[in-house]
């Protein structure tokens, strides 16, 4: 997949794509429907037009983290769906100042040279979100690109959206989130050095930061683990603790994953951890012995859940 981050410097060979436009946070079933429409709407390379950072992060930088995935994880997921070209444009003051007409003309038509675009019917764009999907249709007819409007995708609980997925994760309902995503919710990142307490307790863990991401409900999960780099590359199962480690008076939230039947050094490796089932909330215990006994029970339960997949 080719990635371009400057709409003013896109080569002629990358123009003419049929592109879905949106933020694609989580790359859920609704997003996939839009991507499939872009794939079938025109006989052209499949593209995505999106932004980094997310516009919400630009306008409210101090708001609580809300992203379901990092830009890198999003790019990896989109590549797996067959996206050939990713236009990941910086959302900055210049981009925010573009009127709907200027965005359509300067970015879509002239800069990226898109032949066809697909957006949801609730799509808004341009300064002050003043542009509508219907306006984009009119601009396309005027400026020479096709426009297809996609209906919202409905799930069992209503419309599929990143907001609904965040709500499910906040409740620990990872299977409900997965039903809307079309895949397990994953936390991707680099294994960092922790306090190594797990090793002393007989449960060495691979620690990952969740900074910048919407935090699922704190607690213990049954997980699937993909080691994406290094000598231990492969797929594993395990149990993970997500939160601040109240047993040890922790403050910074992270993800600590114990991989079953594994022995090796994962520091610096890239991991993708899928949350499969919420087991219990974070707790404090009267002794380390009681804490270890609970971890033993968590792992027995996690193994049974994962074996049944």
How many C-beta neighbours within 10 Å does residue 289 have?
9
- Using an 8 Å Cβ cutoff, are 37 and 148 in contact? yes
C-alpha to C-alpha distance for 227 and 271, rounded to whole angstroms: 5
Residues labelled as active-site residues? 256
Q: Give the strand pairing for 85-89 and 2-4.
A: parallel
Q: Where are the alpha helices (DSSP H) in 98-132?
A: 100-102
Pairing of strands 116-120, 2-4: unpaired
Rounded to whole angstroms, what are the CA distances from 166 to 66, 68, 105, 120, 249? Answer: 8, 7, 34, 20, 27
Q: Whose structure tokens read 């049944």?
A: 308
């Amino acid at each position: 997949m080719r990635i371009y981050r400057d709409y003013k410097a896109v080569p002629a060979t990358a123009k003419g794509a049929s592109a879905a436009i949106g933020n694609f946070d989580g790359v859920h079933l609704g997003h996939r429907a839009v991507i499939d429409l872009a794939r079938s709407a025109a006989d052209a390379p499949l593209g995505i037009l999106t932004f980094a950072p997310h516009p919400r992060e630009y306008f409210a930088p101090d708001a609580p983290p809300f992203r379901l995935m990092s830009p890198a994880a999003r790019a990896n997921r989109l590549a797996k769906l067959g996206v050939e070209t990713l236009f990941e444009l910086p959302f900055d003051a210049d981009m925010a100042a573009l009127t709907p007409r200027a965005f359509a003309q300067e970015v879509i038509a002239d800069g990226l040279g898109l032949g066809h675009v697909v957006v949801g019917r609730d799509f808004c764009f341009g300064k002050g979100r003043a542009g509508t999907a219907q306006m984009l249709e009119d601009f396309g007819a005027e400026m020479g690109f096709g426009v297809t409007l996609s209906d919202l995708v409905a799930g069992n609980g209503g419309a599929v959206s990143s907001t609904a997925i965040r709500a499910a994760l906040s409740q620990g309902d990872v299977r409900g989130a997965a039903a809307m995503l079309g895949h397990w919710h994953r936390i991707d990142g680099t294994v960092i050095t922790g306090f190594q307490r797990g090793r002393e307790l007989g449960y060495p863990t691979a620690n990952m930061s969740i900074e910048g991401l919407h935090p699922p409900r704190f607690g213990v999960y049954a997980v699937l683990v993909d080691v994406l780099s290094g000598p231990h590359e492969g797929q594993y199962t395990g149990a993970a603790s997500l939160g601040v480690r109240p047993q040890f008076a922790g403050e910074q939230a992270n993800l600590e994953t114990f991989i079953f039947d594994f022995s090796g050094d994962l520091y610096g490796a890239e991991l993708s951890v899928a949350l499969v089932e919420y087991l219990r909330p974070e707790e404090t215990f009267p002794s380390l012995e009681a804490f270890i006994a609970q971890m033993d029970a968590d792992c027995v339960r996690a193994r049974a859940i994962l074996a049944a997949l």
